Chain A
Amino acid sequence: MIYFEKVSKLYDGDTTPALEDVTLSVAPKEFISIVGHSGAGKTTLIKMLLAEEPPTSGAVFFESVNIQELPSSALYHYRRRIGTVFQDFRLIPHKTAYENIAFAMEAAGRGDDEIASDVPHILELIDLTDKKNHFPHQLSGGEQQRVAIGRAIINQPDVIVADEPTGNLDPINTYEIVQILKKINELGTTVLITTHNKGVVDSVGRRVITMDRGRIVRDDAKGQFIL
């Protein structure tokens, strides 16, 4: 489904590469945790997948299509197939919880009837029905992250990419977010998360890729990793 072929990335002005010769494949319905210290290259890997950064060498394929070769007019169609969740939530500050989730559907060109039926369902799933009219600054960190997950899954994407989704959360909220992501994966969506939280990796208990200084140093299907 996703294939990184000998991908390297050297940012302008840097002397050491953020990614070096990374080859990696992701099958449909997998739940992969990517672990590593800060600067290991986890976020760069995610940015490549989201076509936010081009590789310096190598290629990233999504269902056999080299995403670097996608014209900019096709890029937003591609991004609609990937749901994204970030450590800092990245909600639109002047939209309510309902509007933040609905925005992803509006952007995908969904009809008003669909939005009116699907968004309340997702709000119920993330247990925020009673706070649907709250703005992000009126919600706790955990609640904001749940809205972000709701926004990521509303268009039923093929993949959920979560970059340190529990980085700003307390243990209880961390547990809840991991449970939601596991549930999403059980329903058939591929999930890729980056984290340096051992508890999260253990809780997921699935394939773990360990990164260090831009390289993959371990890829273990049984959840073993080096930190």
Chain B
Amino acid sequence: MIWTAIRRVSISGIKNFIRSGAVSFATVLIMTVTLSIIGALILLSALLNYTLTTIRNKVDVNVYFVTTAAQSDILTLQHKLTQLPQVQSVSFTSRAQALVAFRARYANDQLTLQALNELGSNPLDASLSIKAKEPSQYANIVSFLNAGPALSAGGTSIIDRINYEQNKTVINRLSLIINTTQKVGIAIVLLFAIASIIIALATVRLAIYTARDEISVMRLVGASNAYIRGPFIVAGVIAGIIAALLVLLLMLPATWYTSNLTTTWFGGFNFFEYYRIHFLMLTSSLIGAGILLGGTASFLAIRRYLTV
């Protein structure tokens, strides 16, 4: 019985959608615009995250060790730091590695290299480069280092200096910018999403308004509210799915074209690559949004015609 009702409602919904040509076309068109905005917001969110991650990765704090510090003591400290929940990674640079890097960096600066050679020994310190999960957590990590200073076997501190104080202002400012950008980004995404949903709701409402006489007839022949509502929800869902597929199709040339123009602008973020790699996620998100939007809009729009 229930399957017969579901089958009839589905067939009726499909027929309604096909036979109400112009109204269905207008609904699909508006929902395509709505889902395009949602699709664009997904891409922009990805770009925002990519940019913020890139900035985060550029921030680190370096701990420099006295030249007499034993490598085993430094590696013990590295292990302790790695255990901290705030720490994302800790990389060790030995004095020799620092020297090689220094020489490579100043390969074209003969004066500096000559001065280095004249010293006769390696003046550079070993160091640990610490990356926190969030820029705001560097203060805690530095507190940890200051509270339990790493000591050598002789009982003296092996830490020469930490470059946090010099970078503190920049790190705090970056933390603020990242947090604010995230909040503003979420607010903009929500605002556009809500605005586009309202537009889609109004269109579906208009489509159902044109069928109000039909709804009253259905009521008069004794159709239950669920039986009346069903085909309209099915038609709304079909419009949502078609619109989602159209948006996916339109995103292919759009991301390809914008990628050619903007990849260098956005620090390597490639819209087309994102579309290709995350195609399944985009498909499920847009079709899910289409179904939800079409179904919910129809459900809400028809409600007012089902009273009495």
Contact = CB atoms under 8 A, between A and B. Distances in A.
A223 to B, nearest CB: 29
A76 B213 contact: no
B79 interface: no
A79 B4 contact: no
B92 interface: no
Majority DSSP secondary structure for residues of A touching B: loop
Contact of B224 (A52, A76, A103, A151): A76
Contacts of A202: none
Contacts of B217: 90-92
A107 B220 contact: no
Interface residues of A, number: 28
Contact of B8 (A53, A93, A106): A106
Give the bracket for the number of chain B residues in contact with chain A. 20 to 34
B10 to A, nearest CB: 12
Given A52-B308, A106-B8, A111-B4, A93 B222 contact: no
B222 A103 contact: no
Contacts of A80: 221-222
Contacts of A76: 219, 222-225
A183 B253 CA distance: 66
A84 B220 contact: yes
A40 B144 CA distance: 91
A108 interface: yes
Contacts of A52: 220, 308
Among B16, B222, B308, find the residue whose CB has the most chain A CB atoms closer than 10 A. B222
A93 B214 contact: yes
Given A94-B16, A112-B4, A107 B308 contact: no
B5 interface: yes
Interface in A38-91: 50-53, 72, 76-81, 84, 90-91
Nearest to B9: A106
B20 A107 contact: no
24 contacts: A50-B220, A52-B308, A53-B308, A72-B225, A76-B219, A76-B224, A79-B221, A79-B222, A80-B221, A80-B222, A92-B214, A93-B214, A94-B15, A94-B16, A94-B20, A95-B15, A103-B218, A104-B221, A106-B8, A107-B221, A107-B222, A107-B224, A112-B4, A155-B222
Interface of B: 1, 4-5, 8, 15-16, 19-20, 213-214, 216-225, 227, 308
Given A76-B224, A81-B222, A103-B223, 10 more contacts: A52-B308, A53-B308, A76-B225, A79-B221, A84-B221, A90-B220, A94-B19, A104-B221, A106-B227, A108-B222
